[in-house]
Every structure is written in structure tokens, then in C-alpha cells.
Amino acid sequence: MQTGRGRGRGRGRYPDVQFVVMQNRALAPQLAAWLDSVAHWRPFTEPVPWGEMHTVRNKAFRWFLDETPRPWLVMMDCDVVVTDRTEPLLTCDDPVACARFARASDGLDAHGDDATVGMIKLSRVAVAKLMSSGDGPWRPGQGHACECPAFHASCIAAGLTPVKTGIAGHRVYAVLYPGGELVMDGAGGVGRPARSPNPPA
């Protein structure tokens, strides 16, 4: 199976890293441009509800172990923003490392001490440990369908302690039609387009 989309093919940056993008919606343009610079990447484009993304993540882990030779995996959401401040994550040698994501409301780390899985780097040994029991370490999220605390618990159970290094962001694109409005949640974080009284034909 090809491990990119015809781009890089081993000639780009981070040749020892397999990048995997959880693409359950459109790939953000700035992330697509950044991925053009790396050697190996592929999307997992299964259109599942957000609450079922854990099944796709487990498939990505299995694919990485079975079909790629690379020693490192970086799994990321399709709306992640990568900057120079993300570099410490990309060069980290810890078995499980994740980027920090700041909340829009106050700039604090979105998940405190827990792993944040919007962008996470794992060694092949760590992925194998996490996949050694059952169907995989990813479980349905609780509350707002966030998988981060459940994945953090899976790491601890496997004897792995995630570290946080580097900073990444999320950039969510919304298309607003005439008559629509953008509603932000109470924390100033997630935006959702309200139903337009005049949707397009």
C-alpha cells in the first residue's frame, strides 16, 4: 500500500516518521500544504461520526505495524496547525509524546496532564505494546466524545507515560451561507454554524 498520496515518496522531511491523518472531514488547506513537505503520509478517510473515531485510530495503528517499516508514527487530526513551535514534538525520542493544545478561552493546556491526541508521536515499540491487548488502545470518548483521557489511561496501563512537548493548534473551517450565524460555545472554543433560515438550494 502506498504510504503517501504521491507526494514526497521518501524524499521529504522526517523520513523515519510515518504521518497518518484522521480525515473524517475535509483536510485543512494549511495542513495539506505542510504535509507536502514530509516524506511519508497517508489519510484514513473513513466518514464515521466523531464518537466512533476510536475505531479508525485502532485501524491506523494496525496498518502502521503491519504495512510500514518506519520506526515512528505521528497521528494527527485533519485540522491541525503545525508551526515552528511543533518541532520539539516531531524530534522527540520519548516512546509516547503529544503536542500541547491551548484552549481558546484562556490559553491553558486543553487537557492538563492527560495526553492530547490531536497530534501524537509514538515509537513502533509503543504502538506494539498498546496493540498487544484486545482490539487496540483507543476507546470511545466520554462526555463530548473526547478520546484523550481514555487513551492516556491505555498508555499508563501499558507501562507508557506520555510526555507533552511542542505546541500545535486546531483550525476549523466553516462555510457560512447568507442568513446563517456562527455560534461559539461557552468556553469560546468550538464553533458551529447555526441552521440557516435560508439554506442554499
Q: How confident is the model at residue 181 (pLDDT cuts 50, 70, 90)?
A: low
Give the pLDDT confidence score for residue 200 in this predicted structure. 41
Give how far Cα 80 sits from Cα of 67, 76, 83, 104, 144, Å.
Answer: 25, 7, 10, 14, 19
Query: What percent of the chain clears pLDDT 70, i.e. is strictly above it?
Result: 71
Identity at 26, one-letter amino acid code = A
Kindly list the domain boundaries of the chain, sorted by start residue. Answer: 17-170, 175-201
Instruction: Please report the pLDDT score of residue 55 as a whole number.
Output: 83
- Each residue's pLDDT tens digit, 10-68: 579 999 999 999 987 788 888 999 999 999 999 998 777 667 778 888 899 999 999 99
Residue 86 per-residue DSSP state: G
Task: Please give the full DSSP string across 140-170, using - where no structure is assigned.
Answer: PPBTTTB-HHHHHHHHHHTT---EEEEEEEE
Query: What is the pLDDT, as a whole number, of residue 10?
Result: 53
Q: Is the pLDDT of residue 123 over 70?
A: yes
Q: How far is CA 6 from CA 42, 74, 159, in A?
A: 10, 19, 37
Contact 51, 140 (CB under 8 A): yes
CA pair distance 35, 91, nearest whole angstrom = 16
pLDDT tens digit sequence for 132-152: 876 677 766 555 457 788 888
Look at domain 17-170 and name its CATH class.
Answer: alpha beta
Q: What is the pTM of this model?
A: 0.79
